[in-house]
Chains A and B, each alone.
Chain A
Amino acid sequence: MLRPLIALVVMSVALAFASESFATADNLFNVMRQVSVNLCISVGMTLVILTGGIDLSVGSILALSGAVAAGLIKSGISVEGANLHIGFTFFGVVVVALLIGGALGWFNGQMVTRFKVPPFIATLGMLTIARGLTMLYTNGHPITGLGESFEYLGTGWFCGVPMPVIVAALVVVLFALFMRKSPWGRYIYAIGGNERATRLSGIDVKRVKCFVYTVAGVLSAVAALIVTARLDSAQPNAGTGYELDSIAAVVIGGTSLNGGKGSVWGTVVGALIIGVLNNGLVLLNVSPFWQQVIKGLVILLAVVMDRMNAKEQQ
């Protein structure tokens, strides 16, 4: 984790000199707000990658959870046969969004563990399914005007800190503790290190893996709530490309794509690097096309360094 941290510090200092707008409180809060969405998804992705898997469906799960949450808080559900209208409170839509995220993640887990579908394929399928369901639910239109209480989650401040940052910080601390202190955290590392040995030592690998994909789904839903609240609307194409940003954050943060090695804190640094890089390139007026090229090169560099490290250790 030391190398990415040094890279983050060097990059931040360089940007502070290159652009006078970078090191301002407004801009740093802005970076943190932007990073918070990727961070929530990336924490879930860290757990998945630590087991040696991958989850490509996080962006689509985000879109579906956000759309359903927005639809429910806006219109609720009318049951004409029973002459009932069920409205949803803010708490209610949070619960439903997390349940949807969790259910889709659990489905991914079942595909990977029970039906032995490679994680890449299983989650690629879910990527398309969830995106299609989002389009069906929204008819391809954004759902807007979700009310102030919902909006507060994305744009509000608490004790001088933006709400999205508080949510992301809670997620990070919770899962950093979970990975370090709980037996399940150790099981996750163990599965990534040597799945067969873990199974032979009596750990229910299928259950742990399924749990990990479920967590990734739930955290995508958390990110969905932040994005939807921040925009005060659910966009049917929300979350497109988020899977790549989160994988990039995890890999740059030092988590091995082979599993078994890495940490939530490393992912925090990785997400900050991606966020600072995005922000810095915008402040320096770099063309959006070049921004993509540069981001891609940074990700490749991180993976190459990971491979070289692994080789050295062998």
Chain B
Amino acid sequence: MKRVIKAIAWCVVVVIILALSLKVERLDERTTAEFDPTEQVEHFWNDALPALLIGDRVVGVELFCQALKNNRQLLIDRYGLTLGIGAPYSLLVGGAFTVTEVGEELTTLRTEAGATFLMRTAYIFGNTVREATGAFSIDDYENTMDFNRIASELNDRVVERIVAPAEEFLQAGNRLRVVGAIDLTPKGPADEAFELIPLSIQPCE
């Protein structure tokens, strides 16, 4: 009798633990989309990016250069986005530039105030674009490889859809309106030549 009571008690404990531990649902009712970085990025590229590039997340290049001299941290606090808990911070910078030199991988741009930016036009790697857009959160991905595939897809699109169609404008002396992503660290020289990954290149009218 004692053994039976003991067995029943154990069963009750196990059932309670299982009830508190598991959430069972029908597999066909579960909306699990297969991870498809191309589709996700395509969706973002068509639906969210255009609005992002004309929104208040983009810091004007003149303001950016001024803030670098006066209060770099304020710039980071207001516009900077980061994956982890520290540097580098990524942000979107936009404005009018003059092309001063065209290279195979980097095109040199100069602002009216004389600041120099290096626009990357080939071999784009890293997470700068993904972080600067602020549209992708690591919490939404199964693992960091998937998350990195998003960054890679974005970088590929920059080369194919931003740089390639704008090649005809990339000539020394041309005036361009460019919005792009850059990485910024809390410390650095005010006259730093930042590398900018373009997300929009338009000729100035």
Q: When chains A and B are docked, how far (Å) is the Cα of A297 from the Cα of B139?
A: 42
B21 at the interface (CB under 8 A from A): yes
Pick from A12-20, A138-146, A280-288 the stretch touching chain B: A138-146
Residues in chain A near residue B137, CB distance under 8 A: 145
Q: When chains A and B are docked, how far (Å) is the Cα of A237 from the Cα of B141?
A: 19
Which of A86, A138, A141, A145 lies in contact with B138, CB distance below 8 A? A145
Residues in chain A near residue B144, CB distance under 8 A: 141-142, 144, 233
B69 at the interface (CB under 8 A from A): no
B27 at the interface (CB under 8 A from A): yes
Apart from A86-B23, A87-B24, what are 11 other A-B pairs with CB-CB below 8 Å? A75-B142, A76-B23, A80-B27, A83-B27, A84-B25, A87-B22, A89-B20, A142-B143, A143-B143, A144-B141, A144-B143
A186 at the interface (CB under 8 A from B): no
B44 at the interface (CB under 8 A from A): no
A-B CB contact pairs (8 Å), 26 listed: A79-B27, A84-B25, A84-B26, A85-B25, A85-B27, A85-B30, A86-B23, A87-B22, A87-B25, A88-B21, A88-B23, A89-B20, A89-B22, A89-B23, A91-B21, A92-B21, A95-B17, A95-B21, A138-B143, A143-B143, A144-B138, A144-B139, A144-B144, A144-B147, A145-B142, A147-B139
B167 at the interface (CB under 8 A from A): no
Q: When chains A and B are docked, how far (Å) is the Cα of A36 from the Cα of B25?
A: 37
A309 at the interface (CB under 8 A from B): no
**Do the beta carbons of A141 and B145 come within 8 Å of each other?**
yes
**Do the beta carbons of B23 and A87 come within 8 Å of each other?**
yes
B140 at the interface (CB under 8 A from A): yes
Residue on A nearest B146 in the bound complex, by CB: A141
Size range of the chain A interface in the assembly: 20 to 34
Q: When chains A and B are docked, how far (Å) is the Cα of A83 from the Cα of B28?
A: 7
Residues in chain A near residue B27, CB distance under 8 A: 78-80, 83-85
Please encode chain B, from 129 to 170, with 1 for each CB lying within 8 Å of some chain A CB and 0 for all others: 000000001111111110100000000000000000000000
Q: When chains A and B are docked, how far (Å) is the Cα of A79 from the Cα of B28?
A: 11
**Do the beta carbons of B20 and A91 come within 8 Å of each other?**
yes
Count of chain B residues near A, Cβ 8 A: 21
**Do the beta carbons of A143 and B142 come within 8 Å of each other?**
yes
Residue on A nearest B145 in the bound complex, by CB: A141
A-B contact count (CB 8 A): 65
Q: When chains A and B are docked, how far (Å) is the Cα of A144 from the Cα of B143?
A: 5
A residues with a Cβ closer than 8 A to B are 74-76, 78-80, 83-89, 91-93, 95-96, 138, 141-145, 147, 232-233
Residues in chain B near residue A93, CB distance under 8 A: 21
Known A-B contacts A83-B26, A84-B26, A84-B27; A145 and B140 likewise in contact (beta carbons under 8 Å):
yes
Q: When chains A and B are docked, how far (Å) is the Cα of A294 from the Cα of B141?
A: 40
* 8 nearest CB pairs, A to B: A92-B21, A145-B139, A87-B23, A141-B143, A83-B27, A141-B145, A85-B27, A91-B20
Q: When chains A and B are docked, how far (Å) is the Cα of A88 from the Cα of B17?
A: 12
Which of B22, B28, B140 lies in contact with A92, CB distance below 8 A? B22
Residues in chain A near residue B26, CB distance under 8 A: 83-85
**Do the beta carbons of B21 and A145 come within 8 Å of each other?**
no
Q: When chains A and B are docked, how far (Å) is the Cα of A89 from the Cα of B18?
A: 10
**Do the beta carbons of A84 and B21 come within 8 Å of each other?**
no
Q: When chains A and B are docked, how far (Å) is the Cα of A53 from the Cα of B72?
A: 56
Residue on B nearest A70 in the bound complex, by CB: B143
Residue with the greatest number of chain B CB neighbours at <10 A, chosen from A76, A78, A85, A95: A85
Task: List residues of B (102-144) whose CB comes within 8 Å of A's CBs.
Answer: 137-144
Kindly provide the distance from the CB of A263 to the nearest chain B CB, expressed in whole angstroms.
33
Residues in chain B near residue A144, CB distance under 8 A: 138-139, 141-144, 147
Residue on B nearest A77 in the bound complex, by CB: B22
Kindly provide the distance from the CB of A149 to the nearest chain B CB, expressed in whole angstroms.
13
Residue on A nearest B28 in the bound complex, by CB: A83
Kindly provide the distance from the CB of A238 to the nearest chain B CB, expressed in whole angstroms.
14
Kindly provide the distance from the CB of B72 to the nearest chain A CB, expressed in whole angstroms.
23
Residues in chain A near residue B20, CB distance under 8 A: 89, 91-92
Kindly provide the distance from the CB of B142 to the nearest chain A CB, expressed in whole angstroms.
6
Residues in chain B near residue A79, CB distance under 8 A: 27
